[in-house]
Amino acid sequence: MHTTPPPDQRAYNEQVWHLVRQVPYGKVVTYGQIVQMLPPPVGMELEEYKTFGPRWVGEAMAACPADVPWQRVINAQGKISIRPGAQQQRQLLEEEGIVFVKDKVDLKLYQWRPGHEDEPRQAKLF
């Protein structure tokens, strides 16, 4: 099993940050959703990438520049992962109008789905 960082971590992080910068105000994406939107590194099997990719996305988000809306990335259950900064993340999302019910976001309402008619056209780069 692949347990190391991506072959070119800087390039991978840049791809993640580029994608997250496109998430509209008031929307969220999941770590796994980002993985599905980005191709696996050369030579890596898709299933292996699906397994380790969300962790890589998390590592990219932990190191993101200030212009990346990091707060818009949440886990697949619609929750904020427990870690330092989690309360600030919730506060920032609530300021964007995202409502939490029992510490959970309704992904059907708030998940970004590029290409749907209610999403900006320029987001369609996949």
Are 104 and 76 in contact, with CB atoms under 8 Å apart? no
> Which carries the bigger pLDDT value, residue 66 or residue 6?
66
What pLDDT, in 10s, does the model give residues 39-51? 998 888 999 999 8
- Residues 38, 15: contact at Cβ < 8 Å? yes
Give the predicted TM-score (pTM) of the model.
Answer: 0.86
Give me the domains of the chain, ranges plus CATH numbers.
9-115 (1.10.10.10)
Q: How many C-beta atoms lie closer than 10 Å to residue 23's C-beta? A: 22
Map residue 14 onto helix, strand or coil. helix
- Split at pLDDT 50, 70, 90, the class of 7 is confident
Strand partners, 28: 111
Cross-strand partners of 30: 74
Give the C-alpha separation, 83 to 38, whole Å.
25
